[in-house]
Chains A and B, each alone.
Chain A
Amino acid sequence: MLTNEIIKQKLTEKFGEQLTDWQEPYGMLTFTAVKEINLKVLQFLFDDAEFKFNFLTDLQAVHYPDNKGAELAVVYHLHNWTDNVRIRFKVYADINQPDVYSATALYQSANFMERETYDFYGVNFVGHPNLIRILNVDEMDYFPMRKEFPLEDQTRIDKDDDMFGR
């Protein structure tokens, strides 16, 4: 039976210091990888006879503007259907040069998900066959889900955070 401890031990043996920030929020093993090795981690998790993480459940990005030098996090959710174990891992990229290797060669399903992530956060997936906007209009020249684009007009003063709980 595959448990979080076994996964952690085996991954640490393989990648050592390149994997950090081990957590288990709500039971799901979560770790951070150096962004250059994201494909190696995915491939290892896919190929290993014990791991068999061969389903990419979800892929998305998160923007942390205060995390200087590593503002964009790309989050992968993987699922092993044989043992029914899910894991999550993240890679952080600099917002000024957000290059992350594309997982499309391994997972066809990453195609649209990476395009969506590019569309909203501007993560440049290196090696993606067709990295163009998917949900937004083609002429858009910014990445709307980044935190510098507030949803509401920031010049309004009648909607005060303390009073309106936003």
Chain B
Amino acid sequence: MQNEQIEIMSDHILLPEGSIEKQTTTLNLGPTHPATHGVFQNILELDGERIMKATSTVGYIHRAFEKIAERRNLYQITPLTDRLNYCSSPLNNIGWHLTCEKLLGVSTPKRVDYLRIIIMELARISDHLICNSIVGVDSGAYSGFLYVMQFRELIYEIYEEICGSRLTTNIGRIGGFERNFTNAAFEKLEKFLDEKSGYPAQLKEFENLFARNRIFMDRTIGCGPITAERAMNYGFTGPNLRAAGVDYDVRVHTPYSSYQDFDFTVPVGTTGDCYDRFLVRNQEMWQSLSILRQAYQKVQEFKGAEAEVYHADVPAYYLPEKKDVYTKMEALIYHFKIIMGETAMPAGEVYHSIEGANGELGYYLISDGGRTPYRLHFRRPCFIYYQAYPELIEGGMLSDAVITMSSLNLIAGELDA
């Protein structure tokens, strides 16, 4: 390892006659560098400030989730998915539950679908707002980050009302949610959606600070661009692909969780540079807000007993209520079997994907009819599109590499799994 590292670092490129230096300078950007917002190592060969060659190394926080999952029951895998993209863990949780439901053949009530959409869109907003404001921080505009941060806090408070935790949420269960949403959760959601004092007003202000700001535009336009063909070939999905001009969105192509009931548009860019990625994410937040309003309205239309529905009827996988466990034989048996992991799942092979905050988040699950998955693979969008990073930054300036990385929204947890 040591020798190999030195070997890579001595891999200088000779500069042409007449240059100030004879050869390129090596710079280690990362693994722990404040500008990388995570554990990434990039070995850069620099001519002055221009990047001639980049080599990226990944795997610093690999935690063997796929191996661990082979010894866990379905519900024990949810906390592992939290730690993939930790900026939007509810999306990962719900994607995993949808995969399990597909394997088990469970269909969920409409109210559950709408509640899930509320959570998923809140998670998408919290992920995009971090990404966009970090692009601001890396280009020298710190204040936007502080403006939107208070609303991420509010989103986390909504999670907290529903599942009790904030960052690694472990939200929901196979079949729905662990409990019904409280009034406090809906009140906080209303506060978030409020036109005057809520997130829409703040997002408008944030947008005004950046979208037509001459300094920001000069800084990001033409920085780290990628064409649609290259992006497809590199396996880009999500906002980064849409910024390059391809309107692929899993929510539209393969609707899950009743996304077909909602009216929204898929914003696309043209050049795939940092500025387009910023604009696409920004526009997606507006679309998410619109979906949130529609979903909240649909949830409010359920009255009486229907408004109490928060999970599907899957007794073999959904924990019964505690008071039933103490009084009913059947509930006690299911409780015991779930907790001890004695439920064998049907044999089968299923791939399910959702539109994660960074792109197509896929789960490939093979079950041999045992109690744990035979094989589980996570298709992490970050891991796949990070391959393009050296190509995006080569030939550009060092400072452009930093904002290209933040505008790709690389999350170390998702990269390394």
Contacts and interface: CB of A to CB of B under 8 A. Distances in A.
Interface of A: 25-26, 28, 30, 54-58, 60, 62-63, 75, 77, 81, 84, 86, 88, 107-109, 111-113, 116, 120, 133-139, 144-145, 149, 151-152, 163-166
Nearest to A116: B383
A84 B254 contact: yes
14 contacts: A25-B349, A30-B349, A58-B377, A60-B377, A108-B233, A109-B235, A113-B235, A113-B384, A134-B58, A144-B67, A145-B66, A165-B73, A165-B340, A165-B341
B71 A57 contact: no
A46 B288 CA distance: 34
A75 B365 CA distance: 12
A95 B149 CA distance: 51
A81 B253 contact: yes
B53 interface: no
Contacts of A163: 340
Given A108-B234, A164-B340, A165-B371, A144 B351 contact: no
A108 B236 CA distance: 11
Interface in B217-259: 230, 232-235, 246, 248, 253-254
Interface of B: 1, 4, 58-59, 62, 64, 66-68, 70-71, 73, 102-103, 230, 232-235, 246, 248, 253-254, 340-343, 348-351, 353, 360, 362, 364, 366, 371-372, 374-375, 377, 379, 383-384, 386-388, 416-417
B242 to A, nearest CB: 12
A111 B387 contact: yes
B102 A55 contact: no
Contacts of B375: 62-63
Nearest to B1: A138
A69 to B, nearest CB: 19
Contact of A62 (B4, B73, B366): B366
Contacts of B67: 144-145, 149, 151
A19 to B, nearest CB: 17
A26 B70 contact: no
Contacts of A166: 71, 341, 371-372
B342 A165 contact: yes
A55 B67 CA distance: 27
Given A62-B366, A145-B67, A54 B232 contact: yes
Contacts of A136: 59, 62
Nearest to B343: A165
Contacts of B66: 120, 145
Contacts of A139: 1
Contacts of B234: 108-109
A138 B374 CA distance: 27
Given A77-B364, A112-B58, 18 more contacts: A26-B103, A58-B364, A60-B377, A77-B379, A81-B248, A81-B253, A108-B235, A109-B384, A109-B387, A111-B387, A112-B387, A133-B59, A135-B416, A138-B4, A144-B67, A152-B71, A165-B343, A165-B371
Residue among B71, B350, B364, B417 with most chain A CB within 10 A: B364
Nearest to B63: A135
A60 B364 contact: yes
A163 to B, nearest CB: 8
A63 B248 CA distance: 32
Contacts of A152: 71
A88 B248 CA distance: 20
Contacts of B383: 112, 116
Contacts of B230: 108
A107 B351 CA distance: 21
Contacts of A57: 235, 353, 360, 362, 379
A58 B417 CA distance: 15
Contacts of B360: 57
A165 B372 CA distance: 9
